[in-house]
Amino acid sequence: MRGVLIGALGGVVVLGITAAVVVPEAREWYDGRHEQTSSYATGKAAKADRDSVPSWLPDDAASVEYAMRTTGGERILKATLNGDQLPGSCEPLRGKKAPDPEISASWFPSDRAGEARGRCGSYYVSLEDHTLYAWQTNGDWMEENRRSSSAE
pLDDT at residue 11 tops 50:
yes
pLDDT at residue 76 tops 50:
yes
pLDDT band at residue 23, thresholds of 50, 70 and 90? low
Of residues 97 and 4, more confidence is placed in: 97
Please report the pLDDT score of residue 145 as a whole number: 79
The model's pTM:
0.75
Q: What is the pLDDT of residues 36-66, one digit of tens each?
A: 999 999 999 999 999 999 999 999 999 999 9
The 10 Å Cβ neighbour count of residue 104 is: 15
Domain ranges of the chain: 36-150
State whether the Cα torsion 95-96-100-103 is positive or negative. Answer: negative
> How many angstroms separate the Cα of 131 from the Cα of each of 13, 15, 25, 82, 151?
51, 49, 34, 9, 33
Please report the pLDDT score of residue 148 as a whole number: 76
